[in-house]
Amino acid sequence: MIYLKTEDEIELLRQANLLVGKTLGEIARIIKEGVTTRQIDKLADTFIRDNHAVPTFKGVPNPYGGPFPASVCTSVNEQVVHGIPTDEPLKNGDIVSVDCGTLLNGFNGDSCYTFCVGEVKPEVKELLKTTKESLYLGIQTAIAGHRLGDIGYAVQNHCESRGYGVVRELVGHGIGHEMHEDPMVPNYGHRGNGMILKNGLCIAIEPMITMGSREIYVLDDGWTIVTRDGKPAAHFEHTIAIHHGKADIMSSFEEVEKVEGKLY
């Protein structure tokens, strides 16, 4: 069942997503060599709760790995998504994607940003740049009357034309009262295929792109998904509404970019 949102519901979703953007901005302030992903998680948990919201990832069930034990996913280097925060310090040259969700006034926010730690290799920065570009290209196609396949095609074409892998097993999703709602939003597809996009549709678009092969597997913790070839992966995500005929980005990277500038 696909649930189209009203104007009031879109505004409530916006508030939840702006809080995610502010949380990522707080995280940007502490990302550096020597910081642990557990410290990132603690900061996020405190900030979200101080702003009268709940971190939605904490406690999410998984029959293969038990409930998710943290408030954010922190995926380092070859980890694609669902990385569990640890006490291992980040190193110079690492990248870490921080995926964050909030529940505020009954609606969910969801966004992800991949951060650089210190001096990152130019080829890794190029992966991040391309992934972020593909997110916005996908968003540009999210127009009433277009189809879901148009979004996936835009992401896939941009990334694969530059030699990167597009993960197939993990996709974006609808969002609203629930963190994950219909429809699924793949990062691959064919133009003109899939459901028609309509005003009121709220979705999270989230390219997960690899430097090498798109093949992935799950670690023994039941959560952390990594590239099979051990090469880096990047992940960027925005939550949008189809609003007045076009994409309205409800999450924000503005607070992150105030801290680190537009690196890519």
Ramachandran bin of 34, using left for φ above 0, alpha for ψ from -120 to 50, beta for the remaining angles: left
Q: Give, for 37, the enclosing helix (H) or strand (E).
A: helix 37-50
For residue 138, how far is the Cα from the chain centroid? 13
Tell me the CA distances in angstroms from 256 to 25, 30, 52, 114, 252, one per residue in order: 4, 11, 21, 10, 8
User: Which residues are CB-neighbours of 173 under 8 A, at least 6 positions away?
Assistant: 180, 181, 182, 183, 184, 185, 203, 204
Q: What pLDDT score was predicted for residue 5? A: 98
- Give the Cα separation of 115 and 89 in Å (integer): 15
Cβ neighbourhood burial of 218 (10 Å; 0-12, 13-18, 19+): middle
What pLDDT is stored for residue 101 in this prediction? 98
Structure tokens at 248: 């309205």
Helix axes 37-50, 7-30, angle to 10 degrees: 140
**From first to last of its 264 residues, what are the pLDDT tens digits of the chain?**
999 999 999 999 999 999 999 999 999 999 999 999 999 999 999 999 999 999 999 999 998 889 999 999 999 999 999 999 999 999 999 999 999 999 999 999 999 999 999 999 999 999 999 999 999 999 999 999 999 999 999 999 999 999 999 999 999 999 999 999 999 999 999 999 999 999 999 999 999 999 999 999 999 999 999 999 999 999 999 999 999 999 999 999 999 999 988 777
168 DSSP assignment: S
Rg, the chain, Cα only: 17
- Strand extents, DSSP E, the chain: 54-55, 72-76, 79-81, 95-104, 107-116, 165-166, 172-174, 181-185, 202-205, 208-210, 216-218, 225-227, 233-235, 238-243, 246-249
Rounded to whole angstroms, the Cα distance separating 155 from 144 reads 18
**Measured distance CA(20)–CA(53) in Å, rounded:** 10
Give me the domains of the chain, ranges plus CATH numbers: 7-260 (3.90.230.10)
Per-residue pLDDT, 133: 98
Residue type, 95: I
Dihedral angle over CA of 85, 86, 90, 96, nearest 10 = -20
Torsion angle in degrees (nearest 10) through CA of 14, 75, 84, 93: -130
Report pLDDT for 52: 98
The amino acid that residue 173 corresponds to is H
Question: Residue type at 231?
Answer: K
Q: What is the pLDDT of residue 63?
A: 86
